[in-house]
Each structure stands twice: as C-alpha cells, then as structure tokens.
Amino acid sequence: MRAKRPLREPVRDAPGPKLKNYITPAGLQRLRDEHRFLMSRERPAVTQVVAWAAGNGDRSENADYLYGKRRLRQIDSRIRFLTKRIDAAEVVDPAAPRAESAASRVFFGATVTYKDAAGRENVVRIVGIDEVDVNRRYISWMSPLARALMKSSPGDRVVLHAPTKTEHLEVLDVEYEPIPMDPFREPPGAEAAPLDGVRS
C-alpha cells in the first residue's frame, strides 16, 4: 500500500505594501465618532430588535427579524471597513508648521488656487479619500487634479490628465491652514435613540 503524501499548502504571495490612508485630524475624528456610534449605540439597539423579533415565533416570515439580521450584517461590514481605515490612517495636520520650501509647494492638506484653461480661478483643498466633499471643493489626494497639482509651486503650469480631457492649469497660490470638517451626525432613521432620549 502506498503511503499518503501530506497535502501541500497553497503558495501565497507575500502581502503587498499597505496603501497609506492620509487624513486630517478632523477627518480621523469623524471616522472614530462613527465607529463609536455603531459599536456602542446602533449595533446594540439593532441586536435588541432582533432578539425581540426572534422571540415572536416563526423567523422565516418575520419581517422584523429578517430586516434586523440584514441590518446587523450591514453594520458589521461598516465597522470592519472603519476599523481598517482608522488602523491605516496616517494623520497629516495641514496647519502644522512646514519648512520654507515645503510651505510654498502643493502637498496633502494644501489649499490651492489655480487658473484653468478658460481663465477661471478655482480653489481646492487636498484631503484624504474619506473626507472628499465636492460641494466644499475638497478633493482626494489620489484624484487626477490633485496628482497634477502635487509638488507644484505658485507660477508653475501643470497638465491635468482627466479621463475625459487634458487641460493646462496655472498654480496661483498655495496655503496651509486648518481645513474645517463637518462632525459625524447620527444618520436619519438610525435604530438607536438620540442620547437625550427623544427621537427626532
């Protein structure tokens, strides 16, 4: 009888370099506040609803139970996502003092004024991917516009290679100042009651 050979483990590639998650201090605080809300208030409230619904009998036709279980999966998925983003966060304070040469060049956290090909002046702030706000002109440091502006100084001309066009831009001004960020707000329809005990 032949001797059995031991099973071989699949060959796994070495993990690649971790992608940095540059973020402002206010942006990181917003992620932490949402994580804390989900862990300490929303998940326990949904768990109570599921436990109540499970006690009502037949679970296969119990809408409260089925919806509650689905909502728990969504919450757990969001918690895992936030945990990974917080763990990978590399905080960069835009208001921190910089060396003279770096203070006039575009890096993460910069407020940049530039002129587009039509001659219009635009102001953008370069922030983390979790902080993007199109209405406030906060753009991700990984966006085509931010990549085009990176390391430029006032007076430089850069080329923006966007998916739909190529455009020449002129950098007019670079500033580093605190970037205001909206705090985390409890989403409408959240299962957890507000802390004051009054539902809105």
Q: Is 140 helix (H, G, I), strand (E, B) or coil?
A: strand
Closest CA to 149 of 132, 134, 127: 127
Q: Which domains does the chain have, with CATH numbers?
A: 21-91 (1.10.287.180), 100-176 (3.10.50.30)
- Residue 148 CA to residue 106 CA, distance in Å, equals 10
114: number of Cβ within 10 Å: 25
The tens place of each residue's pLDDT in the chain, 200 residues long, gives 667 766 677 766 666 666 788 999 999 999 999 999 999 999 999 999 888 888 877 777 778 888 889 999 999 999 999 999 999 999 999 989 888 888 899 999 999 999 998 999 999 999 999 999 999 999 999 999 999 999 999 999 999 998 888 999 999 999 999 999 999 998 887 777 655 544 43
